Amino acid sequence: MKTLETPAFECETGNYHTFCPISCVAWLYQKIEDSFFLVVGTKTCGYFLQNALGVTIFAEPRYAMAELEEGDISAKLNDQEELEKICLNIKNDRNPSVIFWIGTCTTEIIKMDLEGIAPILEKRLGIPIIVARANGLDYAFTQGEDTVLAAMAHRCPDYKHCDTSKKMLGLGGIEHLVRINNNSINKPIYQKEGLTRSNLVLFGSLPSSVASQLNLELKRQSVFVSGWLPSQRYNELPKLGEGIYVCGVNPFLSRTATTLMRRRKCQLIGAPFPIGPDGTRAWIEKICSIFNLKPEGLEERENQIWKKNKDYIQIIKGKSVFFMGDNLLEISLARFFIRCGMIVYEIGIPYMDKRYQSAELLFLQQTCENMRIPSPRIVEKPDNYSQVQRMRELKPHLAITGMAHANPLEARNIDTKWSVEFTFAQIHGSSNARDILELVTRPLRRRGGFTPNSRSLSKQTLEH
């Protein structure tokens, strides 16, 4: 039996060269509709939020900056009193259901006791206050969301198997419950007329429309999602505990996964991530296998998506790409691009949890095997100077990079795409594969050397 080629792993500088993790506020405050995010940091953090998140100013954002002054840093002012004043203003102005305190590099350096102050003010104000560390010293770009969700997991209500059974009997009119036991693990599964109700919670912040798409994809296979972390409203957080299965939708949520397993005693479904039609199919298949279900129609649906996006795929087929590393989506995107026929020279990634991404790594190996190409090199915490030297030698058609390196690479005649755009775009699920391809082909089409097949693509080429 032939064994799959294992990708070569390396770790270079040990430093993070990424977008600031406090930017997670941008999508989390929109996802959790009754929340308020208070970022505790310096004026530099405030400038960053103003510039990076300024596009949402007309939406009356539910986040603010608590700027530290000299008196705060030198301990001449009382942290608890100052934070209480700000939170009182937030309560009076917005009356949120929950307030998140986002710690920054400065709060970490001066050892501000946010976790000690929060419970005191929570009782005094009558509003839940959740502390999440999102400093750039310890975390990369998208890991800001990871720390927030891990903190939220502690606030989710406890799941009680008997209560859920009674609720299901009342709501669904189920005359009898069938519990299916596996030899290795027990899976609480309830059946009626061929349908399966499962205690499945998905974690990861996605736009509501994308989350609904994934819910529908699973519902087609008779798998019903009982909740999402985070939920749209704080009082709708899913129940967690023994008997609950959890599955992630993003590769940067390893801390959340660990918290759900160790602290909340949930069982993690290790699956590739639902990015691209290939990833979505593998994700659904893994979930179905846990609940003893045989998925139907997935292969046909995947083939339809590939056929629908043939015009875009022709543009990138045979082209080379180099990931500098920024948002921890690199492994999943590289796997998808390889499936589209691209050559991936190097996958730079700020942080690599091999346990949490084990299914994705295996899927990457299988994809390379199927496409008959060697597995790409994976570099954790890459040295940017060395990467530029390697790009000079390899001469890739495209570099996916953080914003800091885009202009210097363009000056060296290398087309670039900001990795942050993949973070904010809708890239999950089979139907959003075209959005990923639109992003990755845009710089190549801008060169003007490609003639797309479809009329719509020709129009987009002119626009960009």
Q: Other C-beta atoms within 10 Å of 430: how many?
A: 24
451 and 302 assigned to the same domain:
yes
Q: Is residue 314 part of a domain?
A: yes
First vs last Cα of the chain: how many Å apart? 49
Q: Give residue-wise pLDDT tens across range 294-332.
A: 999 999 999 999 999 999 999 999 999 999 988 899 999
What is the C-alpha R_g of the chain? 23
**Does 344 share its domain with 410?**
yes
Which residues does 14 contact at the CB level (< 8 Å), separation at least 6? 381
CATH classification of the domain holding 63:
3.40.50.1980
Q: Are residues 346 and 453 in the same domain?
A: yes
Name the one residue in this structure whose structure tokens are 């405050």.
29
Token readout for 383 is: 């040295």
| 33 and 80 part of one domain | yes
Q: What is the dihedral of CA 428, 31, 353, 397, to 10 degrees?
A: 50
Say if residue 419 is in the same domain as residue 457.
yes
3 state SS of 329: coil
451 and 326 belong to one structural domain: yes
> pLDDT at position 448, please?
60
Say which residue the tokens 């069982």 belong to: 267
Do 323 and 403 fall within a single domain?
Answer: yes
Residue holding tokens 């997670």? 24
Contact yes or no for 223/184 (Cβ under 8 A): no
Q: Is residue 273 one of the residues assigned to a domain?
A: yes
Q: Is position 144 within any domain?
A: no
Residue 175 CB-density burial (10 A; 0-12 exposed, 13-18 middle, 19+ buried): exposed
Average pLDDT of span 422-429 = 90
| Cis, bond preceding 230 (omega within 30 deg of 0) | yes
Shared domain check, 375 and 359? yes
Q: What DSSP letter does each residue of 124-191 carry, written as one string?
A: HHTS-EEEEE--TTT--TTHHHHHHHHHHHTTSPBP-HHHHHHHHHHHH--S----EE-SSSEE-EEE
C-beta of residue 202 within 8 angstroms of C-beta of residue 214: yes
Instruction: Using pLDDT thresholds of 50, 70 and 90, give the confidence band for residue 181.
Output: very low
Q: Is residue 417, in this structure, part of any structural domain at all?
A: yes
**Rounded Cα gap, residues 323 and 334, in angstroms:** 8
Q: Could you tell me the residue range of the domain that residue 248 belongs to?
A: 161-290
* pLDDT digits 0-9 by tens, 42-92: 888 887 887 776 655 555 678 888 877 766 665 666 788 889 989 999 999
9 lies in a domain?
no
90: region left, alpha or beta (phi > 0 left; psi from -120 to 50 alpha): alpha
Which pairing describes strands 343-349 and 320-323: parallel, antiparallel, or unpaired?
A: parallel
- pLDDT per residue as tens digits for the range 216-231: 999 999 999 999 999 9
Q: What is the pLDDT of residues 245-279, one digit of tens each?
A: 999 999 999 999 999 999 999 999 999 999 999 99
The mean pLDDT of 228-248, rounded to a whole number, is 94
Residue 30 lies in a domain: yes
Among candidate residues 290, 316, 335, the one where a domain is terminated: 290
Q: How many CB atoms lie within 10 A of CB 321?
A: 25
Q: Give the total number of structural domains in the chain.
A: 3
What gap in Å lies between CA 142 and CA 147, rounded to an integer? Answer: 9
Answer yes or no: is pLDDT of 184 > 50: no
Residue 274 lies in a domain: yes
- Regarding whether 188 and 104 lie in a shared domain, the answer is no
Query: What's the pLDDT tens digit per position in 79-133?
Result: 888 899 899 999 998 899 999 999 988 888 888 889 999 999 999 999 999 999 9
CA distances from 324 to 321, 336, 373 (A): 10, 17, 21
Q: SS3 of 246, please? A: strand
**C-alpha to C-alpha distance for 144 and 21, rounded to whole angstroms:** 5
Q: Could you give the CA distance from residue 463 to residue 202 in angstroms, rounded to a whole number? A: 37
Question: Do 214 and 184 share a domain, yes or no?
Answer: yes
Contact call for residues 371 and 339 (beta carbons, < 8 A): yes
Of 290, 322, 341, the one marking the end of a domain is 290
Q: How many CA atoms lie within 13 A of 109 on its CB side?
A: 13
Angstrom distance (rounded) from CA 337 to CA 405: 21
Is 70 exceeded by the pLDDT of residue 459?
A: no
Tell me the pLDDT of the chain averaged across its residues.
83
Q: Are the CB atoms for 22 and 392 separated by under 8 Å?
A: no
Residues of the chain with pLDDT > 90, as a percent, come to: 53
At residue 7's C-alpha, the angle toward residues 385 and 383, to 5°, is 10
Q: What pLDDT band is residue 444 in, cutting at 50, 70 and 90? A: confident
Euclidean distance between CA atoms 271 and 253, whole angstroms? 13
Considering the domain architecture, whether residues 50 and 102 belong to the same structural domain is answered as: yes
Same domain, 305 and 285: no
Confidence band of 446 (pLDDT split at 50, 70, 90): confident
Does residue 272 sit within a domain? Answer: yes
